[in-house]
Amino acid sequence: MAKIGLGAATVGMLLVLSAPAPALAQAHAGVRAGVAGDPGQFAFGGHIETRPIIEHVTFRPNVEVGVGDSLTTVAVNIEFAYWWHLQHRHPWSVYAGGGPAAVVTSAGSTANRHSHVGPGFNFLIGLQHREGLFTELKIGAMDSPGLRFTVGYAFR
């Protein structure tokens, strides 16, 4: 599992580093944790978010690790988010988006572990406070977990 998980993380980081340099120069990091259904897991991870690459659109790649249901999953998600600011002085913003993923699934006992790497795709909607607190709902297709509810914090 370590070789496959490390490979997926390496591919994800290479994709993040291939983003336009001005956008990454002012990127923000964040952490997240939540629950996933199908498979039923506890998930945690982190993300990087760039300044807008075009009006209202940010690049928001993330890595999520899920544990539970006799499985371990590592998802490298290459996602974009479109932002709507509710009112001029309102502290909350809504975002929606999605993108492709590489999903590593590992199951079985330590002596007899089986791993699979497959493609995924996510659709997401979220709500984020200007101070950084956010909540997000993702629906996955292909090998991505079916449904995830996440709470996190984006450091500014």
For residue 8 the two structure tokens come to: 């997926």
Q: Domain 2-154 classified CATH 2.40.160.20?
A: yes
Q: Quick check: 105 and 126 in contact, CB under 8 A?
A: no
H or E segment and range at residue 65: strand 62-68
Can you state the percent helix, strand and coil of the chain, rounding each to 5? 15, 60, 25
* The pLDDT value given to residue 90: 87
H or E segment and range at residue 15: helix 2-17
For residue 42 the two structure tokens come to: 């506890």
* The pLDDT value given to residue 109: 74
Structural domain boundaries of the chain?
2-154
Q: What is the pLDDT along the chain (156 residues), one digit of tens a residue?
A: 444 444 554 455 445 445 555 555 678 999 999 999 888 999 999 999 999 999 999 999 999 999 998 899 999 999 999 999 887 788 999 999 999 999 999 998 777 889 999 999 999 999 999 999 999 999 999 999 999 999 999 998
Position 10: which residue type? T
What DSSP character marks residue 53? S
For residue 130 the two structure tokens come to: 């200007």
Cis? peptide before 91, omega within 30° of 0: no
